[in-house]
Amino acid sequence: MDELTKYLIKPTVTEKGVVKAWEEDIMIPTYEVGESEKNPICLEKRVYQGSSGVVYPYPVIEKISDEKKDKKYKALFIENEYIKVMILPELGGRIQMAYDKVKNRHFVYYNQVIKPALVGLIGPWISGGIEFNWPQHHRPSTYLPTDYTIRTNDDGSVTVWCNEVERMFRMKAMQGFTLHPGKSFIEIKVQVYNRTSFPQTFLWWANPAVVVNDHYSSVFPPDVHAVFDHGKREVSNFPIATGEYYKYDYSEGVDISKYKNVPVPTSYMAIQSKFDFVGGYEAGDVNGGLLHVANHHISPGKKQWTWGHGDFGQAWDRNLTDEDGPYIELMTGVYTDNQPDFTWLQPGEEKSWSQYFMPYAEVGYVKNANKDAIVNVDIENEQATIILYTTSEFKNLRIILKWKKRIK
């Protein structure tokens, strides 16, 4: 492990009930991008992620350097006794690192190099961390700087705000990253505002990446029995696929919640779940995962994307990182359960919501969760095993198990 990595994950806060935030210059190995095309070719009829590929007035970048150099970035750190987070306002205001100090592990994919590929709407895009996609996917400004400020709140929590006015429709978006004293989750507060005199469309998908291997499974709620691809063109049973999906034959019955069983690039989005969570879990030695919690009436979108574990996917892994290996995306959308569906902002209208991202461990395949507690219930041979994981300390906690309206 190099000195930079040691420094970034070194805990600096040990006192209970204290949240700190600060800004600092750091060096990250980076493959630089080329100059922007001042007069890009006409893109009016380009289709991107199933919707319009128009980018005006953004310029387009079409070149990535093959040489890696250390580059200085402004980093915003926020930390409490459980979690340490690094945000890069110069790269779209993304979370680049989120570290679980309880299990001593990165609970989102920490890509230790900035290695863009020409995946984004206007060119460069990087894997890892948590990206915030708006007003289109991928975020046009995902590789551009945002404004930022740090606020200390009355309850002792601290919020790092990143803010931009995007150039295509002149709308404003803010995402606030909050750590609370004694809480093992990141609260992300979002505000989007239509500054114009015309109705505008937008989407918002938070895009966390997680490390995957043969022990990794996506964790969808127990009422998810089918999944759609983009635009609901195809549907598959879930978690056991029994037909053809993304032109791959699963007719023998394959558990597609497991990363190792999906060999080709694949998306699947949950259909009409009434639960508030989605996540992923790595069994084996790690025995931990990442969970997202949000009000499903506002944030119904629950999605997994993978490049696949085959040769094509492994080539993309190498294209996006030097040493940190494969990942999947566990995307979460507001006001829609599919892509590229958009919703409306009327003139002068503002919408706001909160999302929670949290590490968890020793739980297995979650059956229900909120921001305070995560629970799994396994029943075997008429015996129920209950595993409860909380995101803060609880005293005199009581667990009630009911069966057919009776307390057991």
pLDDT tens digit sequence for 232-245: 999 999 999 999 99
From residue 330, how far is each of 2, 277, 279 by CA, in Å? 28, 11, 7
| Position 40 pLDDT exceeds 80 | no
What residue type is 96 in one-letter code? Answer: Q
With a pLDDT cut of 70, the percent of the chain lying above it is 95
pLDDT tens digit sequence for 185-234: 999 999 999 999 999 999 999 999 999 999 999 999 999 999 999 989 99
| Position 8 pLDDT exceeds 70 | no
Whose CA is closest to 211, among 64, 75, 317, 60? 317
Average pLDDT over residues 380-400: 90
Q: What is the torsion angle, in degrees rounded to the nearest 10, for the CA atoms of residue 65, residue 67, residue 69 and residue 73?
A: 20
Tokens of 272: 């009409």
Whose CA is closest to 75, among 87, 85, 93, 92? 87
CB atoms inside a 10 Å sphere around CB 394: 11
Q: Give the contacts of 39 (CB within 8 A, at least 6 positions apart).
A: none
- Residue 36 confidence (pLDDT): 87
Tokens of 215: 């022990």
- Residue 52 confidence (pLDDT): 78
pLDDT tens digit sequence for 273-285: 999 999 999 999 9
Q: Which residue has the tokens 């919707």?
A: 51
d(Cα 130, Cα 229) in Å, to the nearest integer?
A: 22
Average pLDDT over residues 353-372: 96
d(Cα 360, Cα 357) in Å, to the nearest integer?
A: 10
Phi, psi angles (nearest 5°) of residue 397: -70, 135
CB atoms inside a 10 Å sphere around CB 298: 14
- Residue 56 confidence (pLDDT): 83
| Position 42 pLDDT exceeds 70 | no
pTM confidence score: 0.94
- Residue 382 confidence (pLDDT): 80
Whose CA is closest to 109, among 208, 28, 216? 208
Higher pLDDT, 313 or 383: 313
The HSE-up count of residue 48 (CA atoms within 13 Å, CB side) is 19
| Position 325 pLDDT exceeds 80 | yes
Q: Give the contacts of 283 (CB within 8 A, at least 6 positions apart).
A: 215, 216, 217, 364
Burial class (CB in 10 A: 0-12, 13-18, 19+), 24: exposed
| Position 1 pLDDT exceeds 50 | no
DSSP 356-376: EEEEEES--S-SEE-SSEEEE
Average pLDDT over residues 282-291: 95
pLDDT tens digit sequence for 150-197: 999 999 999 999 999 999 999 999 999 999 999 999 999 999 999 999
pLDDT tens digit sequence for 44-81: 677 767 777 788 888 889 899 999 999 999 999 999 99
Tokens of 244: 């053809």
With a pLDDT cut of 90, the percent of the chain lying above it is 80
- Residue 237 confidence (pLDDT): 96
d(Cα 267, Cα 250) in Å, to the nearest integer?
A: 15
Higher pLDDT, 193 or 38: 193
* Contact by Cβ (8 Å): 245, 236: yes
